[in-house]
Amino acid sequence: MAYGSTPPPVPSPGALQPFRVQPYGPPTYGAQTYGAQPYGAQPYGTQTYGTQPIPNYSALPVWDPARRPGPYGGPGWQPGPYVPFQPRAPRPRPASAAVWALVTGIVAVALAPCLGGVVPGLIALALARMAAAEVAVSDGWLTGAGMIKAARVLSLVAISIAVVVGTALAVSWLVGLGVPAQDAHYPSNVD
């Protein structure tokens, strides 16, 4: 069309148009294939986009696993009993008082020959008693019975070593006090 010429006439609404474009999907060129619905056709009667059918849930069949055959014709899948989710329980741990009682018992044995094992030994016995009470009350969540027994044994060994060493030192001191200076075998040049 040239500039300034008149536009073509507008067709009337009832006139046939030679080519019509479908809004969605490929154009249909002939017969439908394999019984498919044509594009744009409503498959379930005349529904409009604004309304939805109300489903009838009471008419649906109840799922029964016994009626459904399993693989190779065997029985169907049978659901087990319902078990609610349970988080993992924490692992039992050793009682901290039992660990400290064992450490204090080892220190008591190391210091026993120097007479320093009595105080750590008594502390280890007190910690072992406290740890045994904690373990008994914990319903299995605290462990450490072996450490408690070892701490008791070590503290008793440390206290007994300290008592033996202390007794030997006291006896030797008392014996040294009872000997007169003249009877002692000192060299003659010592006053």
Report the candidate in 139, 143, 111 with the shortest Cα–Cα distance to residue 124.
111
Name the helix (H) or strand (E) containing 147: helix 145-178
pTM summary value: 0.49
- The tokens for 101 are 């009682």
Nearest to 126 by CA among 148, 111, 145: 148
Select from 168, 37, 153 the least CA-distant residue to 115. 168
* Rounded-to-integer distance, Cα 79 and Cα 71, Å: 16
Q: In the block, which residue shows the tokens 């498959």?
A: 43
Q: What ranges make up the beta strands (E) of the chain?
A: 93-94, 142-143
Per-residue pLDDT of the chain (191 residues; tens, 9 = 90+): 567 777 777 666 655 555 555 555 555 555 555 555 555 555 555 555 666 667 666 665 565 555 555 555 555 555 667 777 778 878 899 999 999 999 999 999 999 998 888 999 999 999 999 999 999 999 889 999 999 999 999 999 999 999 999 999 998 888 877 656 555 566 677 66
